[in-house]
Amino acid sequence: MTTAASESPTPAAVILAQLGGAHRLTAMIGARDFVDGGDALTFRFVARALGGINRVRVTLTPADTYRVSFHRGRAAEQVAEVAGVYADGLRAAVEHHTGLALSL
Give Cα separations from 71 to 5, 63, 84, 93 (angstroms). Answer: 33, 23, 18, 14
Rounded to two decimals, the pTM is 0.87
Indicate the burial class of 5 (C-beta count within 10 angstroms; 0-12, 13-18, 19 or more).
exposed
Residues 18-60: tens digit of each pLDDT: 999 999 999 999 999 999 998 999 999 998 898 899 999 999 9
If you average pLDDT over every residue of the chain, what do you get? 90
